[in-house]
A and B are shown apart, each in its own frame.
Chain A
Amino acid sequence: MDVRAQIVMVFNLDKCIGCHTCSISCKNIWTDRKGAEYMWWNNVETKPGVGYPRQWEDQERFKGGWVVDGKKLKLKAMGKGPTLANMFFQPNMPKIEDYYEPFDFDYGNLAGAKEGKDQPVAEAFSQISGKKIEEIQGGPNWDDDLSGSQIYAAKDLNLKDKKVIESYDSMFMQYLPRICNHCLNPACVASCPSRALYKRGEDGIVLVDQEVCKGWRFCTSACPYKKVYFNWNTGKAEKCIFCYPRVETGQCNACAHSCVGRIRYVGVLLYDADAVEGAALKGDTELVEAHRDVILDPRDPEVCRLARENGVPEQWLEAAVASPVYALVKEFRVALPLHPEFRTLPMAYYIPSLSPVLSTWGDTHKLLEHGMIPALQTLRVPIGYLASLLSAGNEGVIEEVLKKLIALRVQMRAENLGLPADPALLQEAGLDEAAAKRLYRLFTVAGYNERNVIPPQQREEDDPQRRKQEAGFGILKKTRGGSK
């Protein structure tokens, strides 16, 4: 067992209102630069919808992630030999049109135009070519809220039955905020011929070394979530850095900090690095369980001993015990990985939304099994759809989570109104009263320090004199290497 620590984010989809505040705070801090105009390290997309970049989930086209080949894992796109052969032209790379051509408006014309018969307008121009754009073809969140659209939503690969979105009775919508998942088995890292991408041993954050990157572009297509971007100005790859300058000092990420709905939780997970490959080799339906098995119990003394041996600091072990992420992912089993079938073991987890009830007028009250709370089968978002997103098609996993959420609501509603609660319902869902209390607290009133348990990094633990002599005052640079 090789115990390591990873900093992880959980998203509660029930609470996401799609306001894009997270995207804006991320953009303002990190990607408000030439070459990065089109990048949204954090984006929020409407589901069903094509997402950003368009149809990123289509791995037959972009060839991202891993596939099981016999008893081994291999990159879906290509092996090492073909990587060398495809260096000059990378066949699976998304093009700018798959995102959108970034544009701005010529506001100067409003004040500077010569006197004429018509009111001057601020025309759109491309931020790449500088040319005027007659008709804008795409932009950030171009399909925002268009969950009934035949042009966008109908092309969602998770939507098996397209009829669902054709009528107002059955149409549904939810938001999906996405950042880089900082995977345990990152395909981007494995695909890089320059070895510029790496995973930090201490906290698991995946980064691109800008000095080593030569712009071969394999990472942009190898990432099945399309979260590695190509900067057309610097000719290098860039990606979400999990706000490491903030996280290192114990502050939470800009996206999580600015989240209006407080849907995000940030915390530490301990995992077994030796079990990662085995978990990725599991069959589709077993993947979610395999994910949970890789995550270790921070209260287990043996796990703690091995973690200490691996140099995980005491503060991190304490944070792992207090981690809201551990509670949601492993203890309560309500948070699920996004598209586990890509086999990168993503370390961002999603609590599926408890959607409104699906009914026709007049039938409504018959559909409500527990007073005002809808029954599982009548939820508006099809379980198959959620399963395609969050459990590689395993509907049992989704049902288990939704049952818990329903039982929790019934319980808390009864408590609020002073009505007798049905303890059997909680039990059936695998919860007890104490667990329900904790979950309720996490979902509703938990403050900043409960939602974000981020231990600062232990740079000061190194002998400061030695560090000063060896590293100077700057960032310790290692161009290549580090051990496995």
Chain B
Amino acid sequence: MLNSLIFIALPYAALALLLLVTPYRFLSNRLTWSAYSTQFLERKVLYWGINPWHYGILPILLAHVLGFAFPGLFKRFLGNPETLVGVESVLFGLGAFAVLGVLLLLLRRVNSGMLKRVTFSSDWLILYLLLFQAGTGIYIGYFMRWGSQWYLHTAVPYLWSIVSFQPQIEYVADLPLVFKLHAACAFLIVAVLPFTKLVHMLYLPVDFLKDPPLLYRWRSK
């Protein structure tokens, strides 16, 4: 029951929300599409929170996504035990960094009067979700060793079965509870993403890298 909720109902609900709500918000209310930076009002704690968080979580997120996209490549790459140990330690360090960052970001909102007017329930929701996600992540990293290896043999085939609409939860059904919570939280984050300021991660500023410095717009051309 718990398994089918976490591994079948949740991912499809999350995917449906992501795929339907995101374009709706983009087309109907782009004025709210912002990273909602609060650096203007409070910057001291932010510096120590936001940098560790982003620089910690981005490589980890990228590793998850790439492992999902190219499992064969990663199986070969991590076949060498020394590489595996190296990768695990680096990712664990980055994870700890991210947890520290998101914890500071959360406490910063608790303590700063200036941020009260710009803190909404959605901010609390995503901060708690991200803290839980990063926390369970490093717990798994520490107590369930070689995750970067077994992830490729359990979660990745399961995720592929989800996106090909033939869910096979037996890949992940027998894993410990903490893994299930980690997965459930991941799906929750995907589900709330289109409703919150997390949408800022759907926009990668890359066009400006190739554009000329000055942008003109002509009404007539």
Contact = CB atoms under 8 A, between A and B. Distances in A.
A233 interface: yes
Which range holds the interface residue count of chain B? 35 or more
Interface in B14-73: 30-31, 33-41, 43, 46-47, 50-51, 53-55
A201 B118 contact: no
Interface string B182-221: 0000000000000001001001010111011111111111
A311 B220 contact: yes
B214 A199 contact: yes
A195 interface: yes
Contacts of A190: 213-214
A459 B218 CA distance: 12
Contact of B31 (A80, A234, A311): A234
Interface string A456-484: 00010010000000000000101011111
A217 B34 contact: no
A87 B205 contact: yes
A366 interface: no
Which range holds the interface residue count of chain A? 35 or more
Contacts of A14: none
A437 interface: no
Contact of A214 (B35, B43, B207): B35
B159 to A, nearest CB: 28
Contacts of A210: 31
B76 interface: no
B205 A95 contact: no
A235 B35 contact: yes
A378 B46 CA distance: 52
B216 A482 contact: yes
A198 B200 contact: no
A483 B221 contact: yes
Contacts of B31: 210-211, 234, 236
Interface centre among A130, A202, A235, by most chain B C-beta atoms within 10 angstroms, is A235
A401 to B, nearest CB: 30
Interface stretch (B78-86, B109-117, B171-179): B109-117
A194 B34 CA distance: 11
Interface of B: 30-31, 33-41, 43, 46-47, 50-51, 53-55, 113-114, 116-118, 197, 200, 203, 205, 207-209, 211-221
